[in-house]
Structure 1
Amino acid sequence: MTTVEDPVAAAARCTPEFRRNPHPVYAHLRDEAPVCPMRPPHGIDTYLITRYEDARAALSDPRLSKDMYGAMDAYRRIFGDSSLALDDNMLNSDPPKHTRLRKLVNSEFTPRRVESLRPRIQDVVETLLDGCETREPVDLLPAFAFPLPITVICELLGVPRDERSQVQGWSTTVANTGFGEEFKQAQAKAEESMHAYFADLLARKRSRPGDDLLSALTATRDKDGGLTENELISTAFLLMFAGHKTTAFLIGNAVYHLLANPAQLRAVRENPELVGRAVEELVRYDGSVETATFRFATEDVEIAGTRIPKGALVQIALTAANRDPLKFESPDQFDVMRPQTEQSAHLGFGHGIHYCVGAPLARLEMQLALTGLFSRFPKLALADPASEPRWMEVPFPAFRGLAELPIVLEPAVP
């Protein structure tokens, strides 16, 4: 058993030590309190699930609702009223509403549409890498990891080029987590701006449709009447929001761990066909979504001998589940040759009806990003291999990503 000083408090408060390395805390909780009651800074009783089998079951348990409108008081305390209009989407709903909304997105966000993006994603990768050719240390996050997915999702949705930086700025503000009044005001303003923007953009798609996902969703919605106007706006926001930040952090995490594990990087370089397996292992080992989005208990629920009372919030620690030794052999070891049955079992993209609709796109972007980066810069290295990485600070477990990733693309030969 891993010994950790006050692990519940560390996880609840997201202490700096926890952000640097949450895995000892999660190991302790899996052993001692696999369904752990805690009081995060938002002040609402929350139960954190850390074991793999419990997490997998909870992700598809209908008693743990995703309809945050059903937990309105808790929702408002955490997110504020300004978020309500943008959260009227499939991520925050249960069947039958979720089924209706997901069906519409699935009908247009198809594997064929995603695969058709391959040449364009490759072009974006090459263009970004063209701008990175320098012998000076560069922060890979703003130079490559963030611009790639934001460019791809904007092109997929049909966001005009000259409007993307503004949309990205709003989305970044919305994605930030905090509880101060100044933060809440900035977030509310960004949410209102994004709602107005997507309402206007969708109106433009109706009058001048293009070959993009929002035009297709608008046409399908208007033909079938399957969505309200606000549901369509909220769906556009969800695809935009979910389509860039998580992938950007995942690219950063992946590059860091490959550079920090030269033997694994060498295996991928010598066997390019391993890149797909490497992506799955990286999502398992240190994915960008630390916990699944909030659920709440619609009735008393017992998991692993712990009673979760009706109305309590539930967070499912995907990062903890993906390192559960009861499921994965040597789970704290990064191994691109891990058996594929284990690699495919990870919960990094969720499970059940809320499984990430953008997972195929994220996988494709990751594969092309890693292949392009390490092919273009075979001498790529961490700027300071001896220094500890600096991880993004959050007030409660949500996203997991680096705050910066200084690298040297062409280290000088000594």
Structure 2
Amino acid sequence: MTQDITEVPESSAADEPLPPEFFTEPLEDRYGRYAELREQCPVRAINHPPGAEAYIVSDYQMALEAFGDPRISKSLDNTPKWFRDQLYDNSPVQSRNMLIADGAEHARLRRLVSKSFVPRRMEKIRPRIQEIADDLIDNFPESGTIDLVEFARILPVMVIFEYLRVDLKDREMLYSWSSILGGAPYADEESNRRLKEVSSKFEQYILDLLESRRSDMGEDLVSQLLRAAEEEGRFTIEEVASTMSLLIIAGQRTTTSLICNGTHALLTHPDQLELLKSQPELVISAVEEFLRYESPAYRGTLRVAAQDMEINGVEIGKESFVHLMIGAANRDPKVFEDPDRLDITRQENRHLAFGHGPHFCPGAPLSRLEGHVVFPTLLRRLPGLTLDPEKEPQWVADNSVGRGLTSLPVKYDRRLPRDAGDAGASGCPVAHGSV
């Protein structure tokens, strides 16, 4: 019998692993379940990937320490052979970037993008982000209802594609491919067959783009990657292609979820909505609170135990998967006062939405900047913005680490014209972490 995924019995982590559905299906009272885990069994076994030894870590301090623990690896070399072979075989384009490397190798691969997402470079593209946001809103109906997911999906795609100087006509194709690649690897053969097919097409697309860009270099991100590779002289074209695939996938999904999750949080908390409307300069702290309150990634990406170890007294065998529960850690009452309350003025907001330590997300400044532009713009241009009472928002439930919406129906009274004095273009500083 399959265990009820809403059930969190008071037993040892190794005795009763949570089922795979705890990750892959909608979870009733998600944060209530996370709270029970933190209190009763903060390190708990889970059957994900199915058939593997794996554990979740839901306590903030334990997760924080685990992010920097050298015994917990992100290298494919430390994963079980079946997992490693599956990823190499089905999605080789994803197997040569900084996301799945440790130590010196991670530092080497990270240098490919280390100068591309610094805040000062991001500030230069703020006006273009504002223009894209306004252009998209100009195409909204004068009033009525829309699904805001489309706006939230298209904006970061256009931003990252312009930064890469990728043809926008390929937008839907690459978005579709990214969605499939973002859930790799899968538990069933058919999904992995499709993954292999898409991975091959995606890699060839990127290799062709890199080759064509060599004769047409500019200030775009692809040109920056190629220059970095040539200057360092220590990167293969396959590593550059894998890094590009990572940027395309992560650059879309994270910001889409930030926009949707943040908007949903505001529209379900009228007091915070009115506060941000009246004080748009609060958008800096508001974005940090959205990232904490409903993190775009509810758990960290691939991590495995590089040796036999213990966390909180729970024995974790070598090659076990270790899932750091960002969504749970970001609601830990030992760290965040009244953690289930949305407070866009919250200070000392040490959330883990972008990770921590060596693998802190390098694209965080871009995602934050997009949020700083988008939220004031939506609230200024769409007075009366509220959830559509006739349709329910739909949350993502899939194999990925993401927490976001697939549908966010909203309505508004009217669409106001764009304004050069928009608060989103006011030049607020980009909040950033240890990139």
Query: TM-score if structure 2 supplies the norm length?
Result: 0.88
For residues 323 and 354 of structure 1, the distance between their equivalents in structure 2, rounded to whole angstroms, comes to 21
Q: Which amino acid aligns with 1:393?
A: A
Q: Which amino acid aligns with 1:211?
A: E
Residue 405 of structure 2 is aligned to residue 402 of structure 1? yes
Deviation at 1:129, TM superposition (A): 0.5
Deviation at 1:186, TM superposition (A): 1.7
Higher mean Cα deviation, 97-106 or 345-354? 97-106
Task: Indicate the residue corresponding to 1:312 in structure 2.
Answer: 320
Aligned partners of 1:42 and 1:78 also within 8 Å: no
Aligned partners of 1:134 and 1:409 also within 8 Å: no
Aligned partners of 1:20 and 1:390 also within 8 Å: no
The one-character-per-residue Cα deviations of 1:197-248 (angstroms, maximum 9, x if unpaired) are 1111111111111220111110221232121111111011111111011110
- CA distance change for structure 1 residues 17 and 150 in 2, over 3 Å: closer, same or farther? closer
Task: Indicate the residue corresponding to 1:173 in structure 2.
Answer: 180
Task: Give aligned-pair identity as a percent.
Answer: 38
Bigger helix fraction: 1
Task: Indicate the residue corresponding to 2:363 in structure 1.
Answer: 358
- Say which SS state the counterpart of residue 171 (structure 2) adopts: helix
Task: Indicate the residue corresponding to 2:275 in structure 1.
Answer: 267
Residue 141 of structure 2 is aligned to residue 133 of structure 1? yes
Mapping 1:6-405, distance limit 5 Å: 6=8, 12-14=20-22, 18-40=26-48, 42-76=50-84, 79=87, 81-142=89-150, 144-176=151-183, 178-338=186-346, 340-341=347-348, 343=349, 345-384=350-389, 389-395=393-399, 398-405=401-408
The one-character-per-residue Cα deviations of 1:8-43 (angstroms, maximum 9, x if unpaired) are 766641378853531111111101111111212532
For residues 334 and 240 of structure 1, the distance between their equivalents in structure 2, rounded to whole angstroms, comes to 30
For residues 406 and 175 of structure 2, the distance between their equivalents in structure 1, rounded to whole angstroms, comes to 17
Aligned partners of 2:18 and 2:45 also within 8 Å: no
For residues 58 and 11 of structure 1, the distance between their equivalents in structure 2, rounded to whole angstroms, comes to 23
Aligned partners of 1:380 and 1:409 also within 8 Å: yes
- Say which SS state the counterpart of residue 104 (structure 1) adopts: coil
Task: Indicate the residue corresponding to 2:425 in structure 1.
Answer: none
The one-character-per-residue Cα deviations of 1:66-105 (angstroms, maximum 9, x if unpaired) are 0023315252477462223322101110011111111231
Query: TM-score if structure 1 supplies the norm length?
Result: 0.92
How big is the alpha-carbon RMSD for the aligned residues of Structure 1 and Structure 2? 2.2
Aligned partners of 1:10 and 1:25 also within 8 Å: no
Residue 7 of structure 2 is aligned to residue 5 of structure 1? yes
Deviation at 1:176, TM superposition (A): 4.0
Aligned partners of 1:18 and 1:25 also within 8 Å: no
The one-character-per-residue Cα deviations of 1:174-208 (angstroms, maximum 9, x if unpaired) are 22464333322222111111110111111111111
Q: Which amino acid aligns with 1:47?
A: Y
Higher mean Cα deviation, 176-185 or 258-267? 176-185
- Say which SS state the counterpart of residue 347 (structure 1) adopts: coil
For residues 292 and 21 of structure 1, the distance between their equivalents in structure 2, rounded to whole angstroms, comes to 20
The one-character-per-residue Cα deviations of 1:336-379 (angstroms, maximum 9, x if unpaired) are 122x11x1x10011000000101110011011111111110011
- Say which SS state the counterpart of residue 239 (structure 1) adopts: helix
Q: Which amino acid aligns with 1:401?
A: G
For residues 115 and 24 of structure 2, the distance between their equivalents in structure 1, rounded to whole angstroms, comes to 43
For residues 219 and 70 of structure 1, the distance between their equivalents in structure 2, rounded to whole angstroms, comes to 31
The one-character-per-residue Cα deviations of 1:138-192 (angstroms, maximum 9, x if unpaired) are 11102x0000000001111121233333222211222246433332222211111
For residues 169 and 117 of structure 1, the distance between their equivalents in structure 2, rounded to whole angstroms, comes to 26
Higher mean Cα deviation, 185-194 or 11-20? 11-20
The one-character-per-residue Cα deviations of 1:268-290 (angstroms, maximum 9, x if unpaired) are 11111111111001100111101
For residues 367 and 79 of structure 2, the distance between their equivalents in structure 1, rounded to whole angstroms, comes to 31
Higher mean Cα deviation, 23-32 or 52-61? 23-32
For residues 76 and 326 of structure 1, the distance between their equivalents in structure 2, rounded to whole angstroms, comes to 37
For residues 139 and 383 of structure 2, the distance between their equivalents in structure 1, rounded to whole angstroms, comes to 16
For residues 15 and 104 of structure 1, the distance between their equivalents in structure 2, rounded to whole angstroms, comes to 32
- CA distance change for structure 1 residues 78 and 284 in 2, over 3 Å: closer, same or farther? farther
Q: Which runs of 5+ in 2 are unaligned?
A: 1-5, 10-15, 416-435
- CA distance change for structure 1 residues 165 and 174 in 2, over 3 Å: closer, same or farther? same
Deviation at 1:329, TM superposition (A): 0.9
Q: Which amino acid aligns with 1:188?
A: K
For residues 32 and 9 of structure 1, the distance between their equivalents in structure 2, rounded to whole angstroms, comes to 14
- Say which SS state the counterpart of residue 103 (structure 2) adopts: coil
For residues 407 and 17 of structure 2, the distance between their equivalents in structure 1, rounded to whole angstroms, comes to 26
Aligned partners of 1:35 and 1:306 also within 8 Å: yes
Deviation at 1:389, TM superposition (A): 3.4
Deviation at 1:6, TM superposition (A): 3.8
For residues 104 and 23 of structure 2, the distance between their equivalents in structure 1, rounded to whole angstroms, comes to 39
